[in-house]
Amino acid sequence: MNVQRYLILFAACIAGAGSLFWTSKQFAQEETQLDWRAELQQINAELKELRDEKNRYLAAARRYEDQGMRWQFQQNQKQEAKRAFEMADIKREAANRLQARIDVLNARKAQILQEHPEVNDL
């Protein structure tokens, strides 16, 4: 009788441990799911911010370019025109650096979307 009782207890322990393992595995999957979703939201927010900043740099570059175009034909404004063209180049370079970061984030976003196609269903 005691052996049978111990076998039942042993089977219950194994079943309990198995359910604990399955539950912890399920929690780990849910946590991972939240991790990539949070990363995707963070990427989207950063992409929006970077695109806005890039557009501001490009707009400033256009303004400097326009100033340089106007000043280059005025008698005493040659140096100002040169500085304006240099500033336009600096602003465009900053926009190019932001575009490089945007490209990296878009690549990571594409990787996440490829790994988790269920996002497209949402």
Name the token pair of 62.
């256009």
> Has residue 56 been placed in a domain?
yes
Name the token pair of 64.
């400097």
> Has residue 3 been placed in a domain?
no
> Has residue 24 been placed in a domain?
no
- What was the pLDDT predicted at 5? 59
Domains: count for the chain: 1
> Has residue 38 been placed in a domain?
no
- What was the pLDDT predicted at 109? 94
> Has residue 72 been placed in a domain?
yes
> Has residue 46 been placed in a domain?
no
> Has residue 95 been placed in a domain?
yes
- What was the pLDDT predicted at 118? 79
Domain range spanning residue 82? 51-117
- What was the pLDDT predicted at 104? 97
CA 45 from chain centre, in angstroms, equals: 7
> Has residue 22 been placed in a domain?
no
- What was the pLDDT predicted at 111? 94
Mean pLDDT by 10 residues, the chain (122 residues): 57 54 50 78 96 98 96 91 97 98 96 84 54
